[in-house]
Amino acid sequence: MATGRIVIIEDEADIVEVMSYNLSREGFDVFAYSDGESGRKGVRERMPDLVLLDLMLPEMDGLEVCRRIRESRRTARIPVIMVTAKGEESDLVLGLGMGADDYITKPFSPKELVARVKAVLRRAEREGSEGIGEPLERGGIIVDPERHEVCVDGEPVDFTRAEFLLLYALIAHPGRVFSRQILIERIGDGSIVADRTIDVHINSIRKKLGSHRDRVETIRGVGYKFIDSP
């Protein structure tokens, strides 16, 4: 039996029912909210292991709820799966840019839902157990936050503070799309940073990664992601 707490934010009662039934049966504790505002509060109260977040919601839409979850230090690391209807793909990309971990498209089968939830939880657990401060290794690139060191194919490479923080954020969550705004928050030194500044840092990071440069991928109109396998 799985254990863990899941918050569902979804306004369609029949979908909530399918989700609740199947996730409860797997052993999860499920809490459902039918609009964005109460859902956002619910996440803060329940501190779940995962959030299933519908895109089109009354009061506050899913993108905004996702942004708020990521913005708060307390809830920033809670995995979010976006639930979208067919044809909402452009919004979907934006959702990933807001820091969602994965998405599922309606209509979905209960089996698909449970598999997706478990996969994201496993990934989050693995990332969590790496802990903050542990060196991360991704196919030839090692980032060690304690020593502030980056090694590319065994060779140490000098990174500035901002470059280091950006690379660390990207590499800690391979495949997750980061918007420029979220990356600006990661540098977080209180100064006003323009979107363009992030692009300049990213160009510099790519140069320093040498043959691994293409693993930092540009998502047009949204931001950047890191590709796990070279």
Cβ count within 10 A of residue 41:
11
**33 in Cβ contact with 20 (< 8 Å):** no
DSSP-assigned beta bridge partners for residue 157: 150
157 burial class (0-12, 13-18, 19+ CB within 10 angstroms)?
Answer: middle
130's CB contacts (< 8 A; 6+ apart) are 136, 172
Question: How many other C-beta atoms lie within 10 A of the C-beta of residue 122?
Answer: 10
CB of 157 to Ca ion, least distance (A): 46
Q: Is there binding between residue 93 and Ca ion (CB under 5 A)?
A: no
Question: Which residue of 11, 64, 91, 102 would you call a contact of Ca ion, by CB under 5 A?
Answer: 11
- H or E stretch covering 52: strand 50-54
Residue 67 vs 173, nearer CB to Ca ion: 67
Q: Which stretch binds Ca ion (CB under 5 A): 47-55, 100-108, 156-164, 174-182?
A: 47-55
We find the least distance from the C-beta atom of residue 57 to Ca ion, in angstroms, to be 6
Query: Tokens at residue 175, please?
Result: 């495949």
Q: How far is the CB of 46 from Ca ion (least distance, A)?
A: 20
**Least distance in angstroms from the C-beta of 37 to Ca ion:** 14
Tell me how far apart the alpha carbons of residues 35 and 22 are, in angstroms, rounded to a whole number. 21
Q: Which of 49, 54, 88, 163 is close enough to bind Ca ion by CB under 5 A? A: 54
Query: Which one of 4-12, 36-44, 127-135, 137-145 is the stretch in contact with Ca ion (CB under 5 A)?
Result: 4-12
| Closest to Ca ion by CB, 87 or 190 | 87
Q: Interface with Ca ion includes 102 (CB under 5 A)?
A: no
Is it true that the peptide bond before 230 is cis, omega within 30 degrees of 0?
no
Q: Which of 56, 136, 157, 222 binds Ca ion (CB under 5 A)?
A: 56
Q: Which is nearer to Ca ion, 103 or 159 (CB)?
A: 103
**Which residue ranges make up the site for Ca ion (CB under 5 A)?**
11, 54, 56
